[in-house]
Amino acid sequence: MIKCTKCNEVSGIARAGQVRGKQRYHCKHCNYYFTFQSPPPGKKSSPAHHATILDIAHKLKISKSTVSRALRNSADINQETRDAVLKMAQELNYVPNYFASSLVRRKSYSIGIVVPELITNFFSQFIIIAQKAASLAGYEVVICHSNESFSNEVDVLKRLFAYQVDGVLLSLSSETKSLDHLQVYSDAGVPVVLFNRVKNKPGFPTVLADDYHGAFIGTEHLVKNGYRNIGHIGGPGNLQISKNRFRGYRDALTKHGLEYNPNWTIYHDLSQADACKCAKTLLDKSSRPDAVFAVNDPAAIYLIIEAKKRGLHVGPDLGIVGFSNDSRSEVIEPSLTTLQQPIEQMAETCIHLLLNKIKDDRFAIPPTTVLKTTLIERCSSKKEGARGKEFKSLIV
């Protein structure tokens, strides 16, 4: 039997809709509405009242405007008042409510970073540095990863948008073919900077390593070391980065009068499984290249492994150059010659450009920023005299 929580009457109680699953009742003795939950839910988890600026104001008998001013260290405030407020805030363990502040200021003071994966160390390192730079400027960072899937990318971007991030740093998934899903961001005036895995489109500035030049000098390095039949493991065709690296590879061949053999170029989708498959495909060919420039280190690493399985001597029999200096590249045997991207510089540039744009909409981000890549020579690209020397060359 249900009793009115106000007048304690049992009769005359009517059901009156429901809210959040709970039934509501109406007592017509005292004309009172109430909901009823069978077990009074125990010691209700008391929300541990955080101190607010009003608490400080009351204690100090001043207005909350003044407290706010003192806390934000703004002008128009007496030094003594400010000190008193600061002291009281300390005493009460005051923590500013980020949501209230963001709500009224219409800024979240956070930026989103979306990366396609987190398992190679390029992106983890990027994130570490970007986060440090952002937090120095007072910005929070929300990290998301698309897992190389376009639909995931769309999802996380939607979530970030609802999160009201002030800007986004984005590196595209291998499946992404257009930037249409970024429309909401440009409509809302939220700046987006693409990095590393980019796609050119007006309104979306990019920051990237000089993939063309890196591929060029990587391939040229193989030529100089005496390889003549140089193949290529490329990335997904829809990514700028794949195209640029391919162009660099091909132009290096051309420059040195070597013929480009399309039969020696195969493409992989940046997944690990496919990297293994590509290595096999390439080595299965009846006429195989004597060197390979790979679009990234994982592809090169699995090529080394596969070649060793088949008894080939990587270096003398098969020269290999990778791209991006994976953590495994210096410990694998032979160690992998690769191209080092300027991760730190890239991350800092991204944050710098993005924050400038956020702070002043009139700031114009340059459409593309290209950063230098450098060749790290190791053993996988040594045709002569490499055998037995591998140990010494490890960088430790």
Partner DNA sequence: AACGATTTCGGGACCGTTCCCGATAGAGAG
Partner DNA sequence: CTCTCTATCGGGAACGGTCCCGAAATCGTT
The site for DNA (CB under 7 A) is made up of: 14-20, 24, 26, 31-35, 49-50, 52-54, 61-66, 68-69, 71-72, 74-82, 94-97, 100-101, 103-106
In angstroms, give the least distance from the CB of 43 to DNA. Answer: 18
Instruction: Tell me if 391 contacts a second copy by CB under 8 A.
Output: yes
Is 36 a binding residue for a second copy by CB under 8 A? The answer is: no
Task: Tell the smallest beta-carbon distance from residue 80 to a second copy (Å).
Answer: 17
Strand order in the sheet with 230-234: 265-267, 230-234, 291-294, 319-321
Adjacency order of strands within the sheet including 192-195: 140-145, 110-115, 167-170, 192-195, 206-209, 368-371
Q: From residue 61 to residue 100, what is the string marking binding to a second copy with x (rule CB under 8 A)? A: -------------xxx----------------x-xxxxxx
Q: Are 164 and 103 in contact (CB under 8 A)?
A: no
Q: Is there binding between residue 189 and a second copy (CB under 8 A)?
A: yes
Residue from 331, 366, 374, 387 touching a second copy (CB under 8 A): that is 331
Q: How far is the CB of 351 from a second copy (least distance, A)?
A: 16
**From residue 266 to residue 305, what is the string marking binding to a second copy with x (rule CB under 8 A)?**
----------x------------------------xx--x
- Give the pair of three-digit tokens for residue 204: 């979306």
Maximum distance among all alpha carbons in the chain? 101
User: Smallest gap, in angstroms, from Cβ of residue 270 to a second copy?
Assistant: 16
Per-position b or e across 136-162, b if 16+ CB within 10 A of its CB: eeebebbbbbbebbbebbbebbeebbe
Using the CB atoms, write b or e for 218-233: b if 16+ within 10 Å: bbbbbbebebeebbbb
Q: Is the CB of 81 or the CB of 124 nearer to DNA?
A: 81
d(CA 235, CA 241): 8
Name which of 253, 176, 241 is nearest 217 in CA terms: 253
Which helix (H) or strand (E) segment is 144 a member of? strand 140-145
Chain residues 216-275 in contact with a second copy, contact rule CB under 8 A = none
CB of 300 to DNA, least distance (A): 49
Q: How far is the CB of 22 from a second copy (least distance, A)?
A: 9
The entry of DNA, a second copy, none that residue 46 binds, CB within 5 to 8 Å by partner kind: a second copy
CA dihedral sign, ordered 118, 122, 127, 132? positive
Binding-residue total with a second copy (CB under 8 A)? 68
Q: Which is nearer to DNA, 31 or 38 (CB)?
A: 31
User: Applying CB under 8 A, does 181 fall inside the site for a second copy?
Assistant: no
Stretch that binds a second copy, among 135-143, 194-202, 252-260, 285-293 (CB under 8 A): 135-143
We find the least distance from the C-beta atom of residue 353 to DNA, in angstroms, to be 24
Under rule CB under 8 A, residue 46 binds a second copy: yes
Distance of CA 54 to the CA centre of its chain: 39
**Is residue 191 packed enough to be buried (19+ CB in 10 Å), middle (13-18) or exposed (0-12)?**
buried
CA dihedral 37, 40, 43, 49 (to 10 degrees): 50
Q: Which does 45 bind (CB under 5 to 8 A by kind): a second copy, DNA, none?
A: a second copy
Give which of a second copy, DNA, none residue 1 binds (C-beta under 5 to 8 Å, depending on kind). Answer: none
By C-alpha distance, which of 275, 248, 236, 232 is closest to 119? 275
Binders of a second copy in range 150-179 (CB under 8 A): 159, 161-164
Contact partner at residue 378 from DNA, a second copy, none, CB < 5 to 8 Å by partner kind: none
What residues contact residue 395 under an 8 Å CB cut-off, 6+ apart? 330, 335, 378
- The number of residues in the chain equals 396
6-32: string of b/e by CB count within 10 Å (b at 16+)?
A: eeeeeeebeeeeeeeeeeebbbeeeee
Binding site for a second copy (CB under 8 A): 17-21, 42, 45-48, 50, 74-76, 93, 95-100, 102-103, 106, 108, 118-119, 121, 124-125, 127-128, 131, 135, 140-145, 147, 159, 161-164, 184, 187-189, 276, 301-302, 305-306, 308-309, 327-328, 331-333, 361-362, 391-392, 394, 396
